[in-house]
Amino acid sequence: MSKDKETSKDDFVDDLTFKRFTARIQHENEERKKNGIPTAKYDISSGKAYLEYADGRRVYANKT
């Protein structure tokens, strides 16, 4: 195999792995929402972690 074909094959595998990982995380977050379990998220603009509940409520973490 030429170097270009190996690179494109590796890129394809990486892309496929990323898509599967993203789909799995989305599925788990949907399941958490259905079961009323909060999801941990991060607010980039404020630089704080928070829990998001199924009703949309956000509870920010306190620094200790």
Q: Report the C-alpha gap between 24 and 17 in whole angstroms.
A: 11
**Dihedral, CA atoms, 11, 13, 26, 61, nearest 10 degrees?**
-60
CB 19 within 8 A of CB 4: no
**pLDDT score recorded for residue 1:** 44
Q: What is the CA radius of gyration of the chain?
A: 18
β-bridge mates for residue 42, sequence order: 49
What is the overall mean pLDDT for the chain? 86
User: For residue range 32-53, what is the model confidence (pLDDT) as tens digits?
Assistant: 999 999 999 999 999 999 999 9
Whether 30 shows a pLDDT value over 50: the answer reads yes
* pLDDT at 10 (0 to 100): 75
